[in-house]
C-alpha cells in the first residue's frame, strides 16, 4: 500500500501542475491537488517504515481532500451545461475527487484485509 500511496501522490502532483499551467498561472489554488499529492507522498514514505501510521495518515488526508473538493464536484452539471464559472477548477476538483475516492476504497480494503488476517492469526495461537 505504500507504493500505491506514493503513486497516487505523484498523479495528484502531475494533475496540479498541469492545472496550474493550463490556467496560465492564474491562481495558486490550481496547485491544491499537487499539495495533497506531496502530503500523500510523505505519508507513503512514512508507511514504508511504519505501515499502520503512514496508511492511516494518508487515508485521513485523502478523506479531507474528498471533502474539500466536493463543493466543486457539485458544479459538474454546470460544467457540462457550459455555465461553469471556473471550468478548470471544476474539472480538476472532479478528477481529484475521483482519484481520492478510489484511493480511499483501496486503502480501506487493505486495512480490513490486514485486520482480518491479524484476527485469524490471533485465534490460531
* pLDDT tens sequence across 11-44: 999 999 998 888 888 878 888 899 999 999 999 9
pLDDT value at residue 117: 57
pLDDT value at residue 34: 92
What is the Cα–Cα distance from 20 to 115, expressed in whole angstroms?
40
Question: What's the whole-model pTM score?
Answer: 0.81
Mean pLDDT, residues 47-51 taken together: 88
Q: What is the DSSP letter of 75?
A: T
* pLDDT tens-digit series, residues 69-123: 888 777 766 667 777 677 777 788 889 999 999 999 999 888 777 665 554 344 3
Q: State the residue for C-alpha cell 506531496.
A: 38
pLDDT value at residue 114: 66
Give the residue extent of every domain in the chain: 2-124
C-alpha separations of 13 from 16, 32, 74, 83, 101 in Å: 5, 9, 23, 28, 16
pLDDT value at residue 8: 93
pLDDT value at residue 121: 41
Assess contact for 34 and 59: CB atoms under 8 A. no
pLDDT value at residue 116: 59
pLDDT value at residue 25: 82
Amino acid at each position: 500500500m505504500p507504493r500505491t500511496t506514493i503513486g497516487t501522490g505523484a498523479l495528484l502532483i502531475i494533475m496540479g501542475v498541469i492545472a496550474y499551467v493550463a490556467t496560465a498561472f492564474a491562481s495558486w489554488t490550481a496547485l491544491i491537488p499537487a499539495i495533497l499529492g506531496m502530503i500523500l507522498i510523505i505519508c507513503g514514505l512514512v508507511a514504508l517504515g511504519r505501515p499502520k501510521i503512514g496508511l492511516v495518515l494518508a487515508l485521513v488526508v485523502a478523506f479531507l481532500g474528498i471533502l474539500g473538493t466536493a463543493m466543486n464536484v457539485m458544479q459538474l452539471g454546470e460544467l457540462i451545461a457550459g455555465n461553469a464559472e471556473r471550468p478548470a477548477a471544476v474539472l480538476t476538483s472532479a478528477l481529484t475527487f475521483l482519484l481520492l475516492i478510489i484511493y480511499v476504497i483501496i486503502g480501506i480494503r487493505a486495512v480490513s484485509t490486514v485486520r482480518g488476517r491479524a484476527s485469524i492469526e490471533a485465534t490460531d495461537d
